Structure 1
Amino acid sequence: MKKRFIYSTIGAVSAGAAALLLKDEQRREKVKQKAKSLTESVQGSLKNEHNNDLPVEKAGVPEFDSIENTKMVDEGSQFGVQYYNEVKDDEDPEEIQRKQNA
């Protein structure tokens, strides 16, 4: 309930402030200019983020670059399988049968 009241209050205050700012022609022009400059600066910074001159060191097929990393990933991928097999080995065969029939 409090959040709804707070959001409603913020919305009403914002609408009132916007109406007060945009009431005068000069202020309206200032707001338009600031909004335009803000959007231009944001668009300019976004263009800089999508620069294609990023260093790409290990692109393509990384397996041939570092065999150690490939071995590590290969060994690590067996952890879940080994854990599952250990849990299954520890379970009672009657319990497994009960789970399958349920």
Structure 2
Amino acid sequence: MKVNKTLLVGATVTAGSLGWILSSKEKRNQLHNVKEGLVTKFKKRRKEDLPVEKGGNPDPSNIEDNSMVSEGAMTSVQYYNEQKQD
């Protein structure tokens, strides 16, 4: 079996670095803080990217939105019917 030397060196360096980081409580706490900061930042960005204000609650007086939804529903029904006929 042929092993790529670059992959082997990379794995060794990664394992050594991880061992060095986890060797002391202070470094483990720093790593944990970095991880928590990234998770918080990702969750905040995700909330900002998804401003769904009326999802699942269509307004009956919004005619344009309701007609768009009904057209989309009819498109999927039409596609299903065409597939069943073939």
Distance apart, 1:23 and its partner CA: 0.5
Following the alignment from structure 1 to structure 2, what is the Cα–Cα distance between the partners of residues 39 and 8? Answer: 30
Q: How does 1:63-74 map to 2 (within 5 A)?
A: none
Question: Which protein has greater RCO, CA pairs closer than 8 Å, 6+ apart?
Answer: 2
Unpaired stretches in structure 2, ≥5 consecutive residues: 54-63, 73-86
Residue 21 of structure 2 is matched in structure 1 by 21
Please provide the CA RMSD for this pair: 2.4
**Number of aligned residue pairs:** 57
1:33 matched to 2:19: no
Distance apart, 1:22 and its partner CA: 1.2
Q: How does 1:1-102 map to 2 (within 5 A)?
A: 4-52=4-52, 60=68, 61=71
Following the alignment from structure 1 to structure 2, what is the Cα–Cα distance between the partners of residues 50 and 5? Answer: 44
Unpaired stretches in structure 1, ≥5 consecutive residues: 63-102
Higher CA-based Rg? 1
TM-score of the aligned structures, taking structure 2 as reference length: 0.53
Question: Segments of 4+ in structure 1 off by > 4 A?
Answer: none
